[in-house]
Structure 1
Amino acid sequence: MVMTRRLTQWLALGASALALSACGGNGETDNDAVVLHRGNMAEPFSLDPHKASGTWENNIIGDMFIGLFTENAEAEPVPGMAESWTTSEDGLTWTFELREAYWSDGEPVTAFDFQYAFRRIMDPATLANYASLLYPIKNAEAVNLRGLPPEELGVTAVDADTLVIELEFPAPYLPGLLTHYTTFPVPMHVVEEHGDAWIQPANIETNGPYKLEQWRAGNFVHVSRNEQFYDNENVCIDEVFYYPTVDVQAAERRVRNGELHLITDFAGQNLEFLREQVPDYVRVHPFLGTRYLSFNTTVEPLNDVRVRNALSMAIDTAFIAEEILRDGSLPACAFVPPGVNDYPGTAETPWCEVPIEERRAEARRLLEEAGFGPDNPLELNYTFRATGDNPRIAPVLQRDWAEIADWVRIDIGQVETQIHYSNLRAGDYEIGDGAWIGDYNDAYNFLFLAETDSVPMNYSRWSNPQYDALVEQANRTLDPAERAALLSEAEQLMLAESAYGPVTFYVNKALVNPAVTGWEDNIVHIHRTRYLCFADIEGENAPEAELQ
C-alpha cells in the first residue's frame, strides 16, 4: 500500500479542504497526520467487545482489536492473531498457534488473554448481551446460563502461544465467527487493574491498528495509530474520527460538502439524486441483512400465533421495498437472506405469494377468530429506531395494519436506537422494529435468534421445542446438505408461527469520497480502516488539505 503523509485534493464538489469545524468540537490532531472522518450511524453504547451489540460499535471495535481471525478488505476471514491452526477429525477441537504480537503498551498478546476474554464474556456477571453467539463453544451455554464455573469453558491456553477451543458440535463457520468482536482478546493485565473502566481512553490498551484517544458522547470517537500493531507498516490512516450520523439526510450533505469522507448508509429515496449529483461516491451492494419486526410473545395478545400472523401477513413488503426504500432492497418472505453459503433458501412465509388484499382479508378473519372486533379493538404499540429509513417505514406499517379493519389501532413511536435495542433485549416493548446483519456467512447466525436459550438476543422470546431440536440436530450434522435441510425446516417453522415478521432484505448503501482508496464492497458491509488510504490523484504537486 502506498503511504502518504497528506490528504489529497478532493475529486468532487471543488472541495480542496476538509472543514472539520463544521463537524463541531473536534479534538486536536497532528497536522501532518492522515486523518479519516467516518459517519457511523448511531452513538455507541459501549466499546468493550463484551458489552457491544451494534454494527456501529463493531466499526470502531474492529479497528482497535484483532481476534484469532480477522477480515481482509473484502471482509473474508483471514488469519489474525492465529498464525496457524489444526482441527481434529471430528471437527470439535481447534488448536491455534499465535503470532508474535503486542498490546499497545508493549506487553505481549498471549493465549492467556484469549482464555481470559472468553471466560469473561461467558461469565453471567459480565452481562454480555451477545454471549449466546458463542454457545457453539463447549460448556458456553452452561457457563452463561446455568452456573457452571467459567473455568469449565472449552477454551484453554496450553501455554502463552497455544490456544485450544473445544466445540459442542462441528462448526464449519468457526473462522468467520472468530472474526467477530465477541471473540476478541482483551488485555488481561489492564482489565484486572481497572475493571470495567479499562475501556476508558486513559486506560485502554489494544492489539489492533488503532487505540482509543477520545470519546465525546454524542459528538465523536477518536482513535489513533497503534505503533505496536503487527501490521502497522501497511496501515495508511493515522487517525480516525467516527461520528454518529442518525440524520442520514444531514449526513449525506456532510459527505457532499467535504465534511465527512464516508457514511455507511443513506436514505434510499435519494439514490437517484445522489447518482446524478455525486455518481462516483455512491456504493450499493447486496447485503447479508434482514429488516424485521419482533413480536413480544410474553405479552397478550402477541402470545397468540393468530395475532402475530395477522399482523405479519398484512404488511405490503413489496410496497415498502419498491416505493418507500427504492434502493434495491427486496421484499422478504423469509428470515435468512439470499446469498448465504450452503443454504437452499427455500423456506418462506405461507402467504408469500398471496395478493395483499387477500392477505388482509385473512388477517381480519384471524383477528376476529382471536376475539377482536368493533367491541374489542386490537390496540398495540409499535416502536422503531430513529435511524435510517425506519421513521419513513413506520407510518406505512401503521397504515397497513389499519387496512385490516378500523378496529385495528397500532400507535407508533420513535426511540433513540440504543435505547430501542435495550428495550428489545429487556422485553420492554410490544411490537418493535429491528435488523439483523450477519456476523458470519452461515444460516445459523440468523436462526439462532429464535432459539429459546438465545435471550436476550431472541427479542420475541418465542420458544418452540421442535424448532430447538431441529437446530440442535443440524448443528450436530456433519453432512452440509443434510445440515442445510434441517436448518431450512426450522426456518419454515419459525415463519409459520411469526416468531419474527420479515419485512425486507437489505442492500448496503454507502457514500465514499472517491479520494478514499481500498474500499471494497462486500456482503457483510465491513470496511476496516487499516485497508483504506487516499489516492494522490494530482501527483506530487497536489496541495495539502488544511485541517481546520
Structure 2
Amino acid sequence: MSSRVLNLRTAVLFGAVLLGSAPAFAEAVLHRGNSGEPQTLDQAHTSINIEAFILKDLYEGLTIYDAAGKIVPGTAESWTVSDDSAKYTFKLRENAKWSDGTAVTAGDFVFSFARVEDPKIAAGYANILYPIKNAEKVNKGELPLTDLGIKAVDDRTLEITLERPTPFFLELLAHQTALPISKASFEKNGADFVKPGVMVSNGAFKLASHVPNDQLVVTKNPSYWDAANVKLDKVIFYPIDDQAASVRRFEAKEMDLAYNFSADQIERLRTSYKDQVHVSPTLATYYYAFDSRQEPYSDVRVRRALSMAVDRDFLAKEIYRGSQIPAYSMVPPGMASYGEPSKADFAGLSQLDREDKAIELMKEAGYGEGGKPLNIEIRYNTNPNHERVATAVADMWKNTFGAKVSLVNLDVSSHYAYLQEGGKFNVARAGWVADYADAENFLALNVSTNKTFNYGKYSSPEFDALMQKSYAETNPEARSKLLHDAETLLMRDQPVAPFLTQADLWLVSNRVQGWQDNAANEHLSRFLSVSQ
C-alpha cells in the first residue's frame, strides 16, 4: 500500500474521530421557577399569574406585552378605531398559524370570546371582556351568544364593538382570558384540548409534557409567525411554592429564574448575586379580606378596628425588608389616569392613635376586653412571607384586642379555589396584580355582582352605583372623580384591608439575556435567551 493511500486512510479515520467526538448542538433551555402548580391551562378558567406565565408562552392574543411591559401587536398586526372609540377593527397576520400548521382565523377569536362569555362555561374571569357590547348580558344568560359584539368580517379581519369607550381595551386583550383557542381543536377534543400531545396553540411555544407538581415543559413552536426570532428551544417551568427550595435550586444553577423568593433573604442574596437580584415595583396590592356574611365581620366597626390595629410599617420594613411599602388604599400608586389613590381616613394617624381608636371601635361593637370573645382564623396561601405576615398580624390583634387567633394555610391553587368558589372564612390573605393599568381593575373586585373575586361578599348599593356611573362616564376627569369617590367608600367600610403595595421579587441568572423589569410583571419567554 502506497504511503499516499495510507495517509489518506489515516486522515479519514482521524477526521471520523474528530467528528464523532464533537458535541451535538446544545439545546437552548430556560429553567424557569414558577411559584405554584397551575389550576388550569384553560383560558376560560385561568385566574392567577403563575398560569398566565405559562399560557402566554403557549398562546398569543391580539395584543401582547413586550419585554418592557408595553402593549404591542400580537396576532393582530394592526388595528383601527372608530371616531367614537367604540369599534375596533383588527387585521390578523397573514402568517399567523396554529402549532398544527393551520391558519389562525378571526373565527377562532369569535369562538374563544363567546366561549368565555357562555354562562354554561362559568368562566371566573368573564368580566375581563365585559367592555364588549352585550358581553355582560350574554354572560348572565339575558341574551344569546350570537348577540356578543364581535364578528369575523373575513378570516383575517375581526371587528369588536364595545358597550362604551374603554381606554384600556388593548390591555384587556393581552390578558390570558383573551387568548384564543383553536375552534377546530376544541370541537374535536373538547375539554381534553389542554392536554400535552393534544393542545394546539398559536404562541411561541407548544406544550410538550406536564407532570403535576414536578415540571411543565414547552418547546419552540416552528409554526409561530415569528419563530425565526425565538431564541429558546425549550422552557421548563418548575411549580415550586417552597421559596427556600426555589432559592436553593437557583443557587445550585438548576434554575435560571426564581419568582417570589423570601424577602428576608434580600440582603444575603444581593451580597452573593448582586444584580441577579431584581426588586421591581409593580401595580399590585397585598390585602386581607373579611367575610362580611358572618358576625362579627359583618360589622363595619370590627373590620375597621382590625385594619387599624395592623402596623403596616412593621410589615414593610421588618418582614419585607423595605421591598414593599405600606398601603392604605386598594388602588396602588403609579397610575397616570388615576393619580393619588383615596386612602383610609386613619392613614395620617400615628400607629398608637390608630390602636386607641381601634380599641374604642371594638368595644363599641361589643367585642374584646369586657365584651364578647374575639376568635379569628386567618387563612393564607403557603409561603414564608405570608406566614410571617399572618403571624405578625395575629400578634397585633392579640395584643390590641386580646383576640385568640389561629392560622390555616393551603397551597396557592387550593387557597384561591376555596375563596373563588365562595367558601366561608373569617379573614383571608389575598393579593391583586393589575390586569391592566386602570383603577377600575382594583375597585371592581368588590362590586357585589363580582362572584369570583369579591371574596368577602361585600355589598354596598352606594359603591355599586358609583362604579356603574364610572363605566358610562367618557370624560377622563369626571370618571376619575367617580372612581375616587368609590375608593373612599371602600376604605371607609374596609371589607378589604390593604397592607402593602407590592414589588415583584425575581432571581435572574446572569446567563439570561433580554430580561427587563417592568411594572406589569410581564416576561414572555420569547423575548429571552440563554448563554451556554
1:465 corresponds, among 456, 461, 467, to: 461
Question: How many angstroms apart in 1 are the aligned matches of 2:119 and 2:294?
Answer: 26
Give CA deviations for 1:375-430 in whole Å, capped at 9, x if unaligned: 52121211001035111111001011112222x22221111111110111122122
**Does the CA contact (< 8 Å) of 2:45 and 2:124 recur in 1?**
yes
Give CA deviations for 1:488-510 in whole Å, capped at 9, x if unaligned: 11111111100211010011111
**Does the CA contact (< 8 Å) of 1:327 and 1:507 recur in 2?**
no
**Does the CA contact (< 8 Å) of 1:246 and 1:388 recur in 2?**
no
- Give 1:107's aligned residue: 102
1:534 Cα shift?
2.1
1:127 Cα shift?
2.3
Residue type matched to 1:177 in 2? L
1:60 Cα shift?
0.3
- Give 1:181's aligned residue: 176
Task: Please say which structure displays the higher CA radius of gyration.
Answer: 2
- 3-state SS, counterpart of residue 212 of structure 1: strand
Question: How many angstroms apart in 2 are the aligned matches of 1:133 and 1:493?
Answer: 23
- Give 1:399's aligned residue: 395
Question: How many angstroms apart in 2 are the aligned matches of 1:131 and 1:409?
Answer: 39
Stretch deviating more after TM superposition (48-57 or 144-153): 144-153
Stretch deviating more after TM superposition (139-148 or 311-320): 139-148
The 5 A counterparts of 1:66-145 are 66-100=60-94, 101-145=96-140
- 3-state SS, counterpart of residue 409 of structure 2: strand
- Give 2:254's aligned residue: 259
Give CA deviations for 1:139-173 in whole Å, capped at 9, x if unaligned: 11112224422222112222211111121221111
- Give 1:275's aligned residue: 270
- 3-state SS, counterpart of residue 275 of structure 2: coil
Given the alignment of the two structures, is residue 416 of structure 1 paired with residue 403 of structure 2, yes or no?
no
Which blocks of at least 5 consecutive residues in structure 2 are unaligned?
1-23
- 3-state SS, counterpart of residue 83 of structure 1: strand
Given the alignment of the two structures, is residue 53 of structure 1 paired with residue 47 of structure 2, yes or no?
yes
Stretch deviating more after TM superposition (357-366 or 346-355): 357-366
Give CA deviations for 1:36-91 in whole Å, capped at 9, x if unaligned: 10000011000111111110000000001111101111111101111221212222
Residue type matched to 1:235 in 2? V
Give CA deviations for 1:478-497 in whole Å, capped at 9, x if unaligned: 22222212111111111110
**Does the CA contact (< 8 Å) of 1:296 and 1:427 recur in 2?**
no
- Give 2:483's aligned residue: 487
Question: How many angstroms apart in 1 are the aligned matches of 2:341 and 2:179?
Answer: 34
Residue type matched to 1:90 in 2? D
Residue type matched to 2:28 in 1? V
1:41 corresponds, among 10, 26, 35, to: 35
Residue type matched to 2:283 in 1? L
Stretch deviating more after TM superposition (346-355 or 230-239): 346-355
**Does the CA contact (< 8 Å) of 1:72 and 1:78 recur in 2?**
yes
**Does the CA contact (< 8 Å) of 2:218 and 2:235 recur in 1?**
yes
- Give 2:298's aligned residue: 303
Question: How many angstroms apart in 1 are the aligned matches of 2:421 and 2:301?
Answer: 24
Question: How many angstroms apart in 1 are the aligned matches of 2:525 and 2:336?
Answer: 26
Question: How many angstroms apart in 1 are the aligned matches of 2:331 and 2:56?
Answer: 25
Residue type matched to 2:89 in 1? T
1:283 Cα shift?
1.0
Question: How many angstroms apart in 2 are the aligned matches of 1:469 and 1:93?
Answer: 26
The RMSD of aligned alpha carbons is 1.4
Given the alignment of the two structures, is residue 390 of structure 1 paired with residue 411 of structure 2, yes or no?
no
1:476 Cα shift?
2.1
Give CA deviations for 1:190-241 in whole Å, capped at 9, x if unaligned: 1111111110012100000000011100001100010010110000011010
Residue type matched to 2:408 in 1? G
Given the alignment of the two structures, is residue 442 of structure 1 paired with residue 449 of structure 2, yes or no?
no
Question: How many angstroms apart in 1 are the aligned matches of 2:418 and 2:530?
Answer: 41
The 5 A counterparts of 1:331-370 are 331-370=326-365
Question: How many angstroms apart in 2 are the aligned matches of 1:47 and 1:390?
Answer: 26
Given the alignment of the two structures, is residue 63 of structure 1 paired with residue 57 of structure 2, yes or no?
yes
- Give 1:541's aligned residue: none
1:31 Cα shift?
6.9
- Give 1:455's aligned residue: 451
Residue type matched to 1:489 in 2? D
- Give 1:379's aligned residue: 375
1:516 corresponds, among 508, 512, 515, to: 512
Number of aligned residue pairs: give it: 506
- 3-state SS, counterpart of residue 510 of structure 1: strand
**Does the CA contact (< 8 Å) of 1:289 and 1:337 recur in 2?**
yes
- 3-state SS, counterpart of residue 197 of structure 2: coil
Residue type matched to 1:122 in 2? E
1:106/1:150 Cα in 2 relative to 1: closer, same or farther (>3 Å)? same
Give CA deviations for 1:268-315 in whole Å, capped at 9, x if unaligned: 111111110111311112111100011111222211111111111111
- 3-state SS, counterpart of residue 36 of structure 1: strand
Given the alignment of the two structures, is residue 154 of structure 1 paired with residue 185 of structure 2, yes or no?
no
Give CA deviations for 1:329-383 in whole Å, capped at 9, x if unaligned: 0000111111113112240011111122221222222222222244521212110
- Give 2:20's aligned residue: none
**Does the CA contact (< 8 Å) of 2:332 and 2:341 recur in 1?**
no
2:224 corresponds, among 219, 224, 229, to: 229
Question: How many angstroms apart in 2 are the aligned matches of 1:180 and 1:361?
Answer: 44
**Does the CA contact (< 8 Å) of 2:331 and 2:341 recur in 1?**
no
Residue type matched to 1:424 in 2? L
Question: How many angstroms apart in 2 are the aligned matches of 1:384 and 1:242?
Answer: 24
- Give 1:425's aligned residue: 420
**Does the CA contact (< 8 Å) of 1:36 and 1:240 recur in 2?**
yes
Question: How many angstroms apart in 2 are the aligned matches of 1:516 and 1:104?
Answer: 26
Given the alignment of the two structures, is residue 246 of structure 1 paired with residue 241 of structure 2, yes or no?
yes
Stretch deviating more after TM superposition (452-461 or 431-440): 452-461
Residue type matched to 1:201 in 2? P
Question: How many angstroms apart in 2 are the aligned matches of 1:427 and 1:231?
Answer: 42
**TM-score of the superposed pair, with normalisation by structure 2:** 0.93
- Give 1:287's aligned residue: 282
Provide the identity percentage. 37
- Give 2:473's aligned residue: 477
The 5 A counterparts of 1:195-206 are 195-206=190-201
- Give 2:3's aligned residue: none
- Give 1:539's aligned residue: none
Question: How many angstroms apart in 2 are the aligned matches of 1:130 and 1:300?
Answer: 29
1:138 Cα shift?
1.5
Residue type matched to 2:445 in 1? L
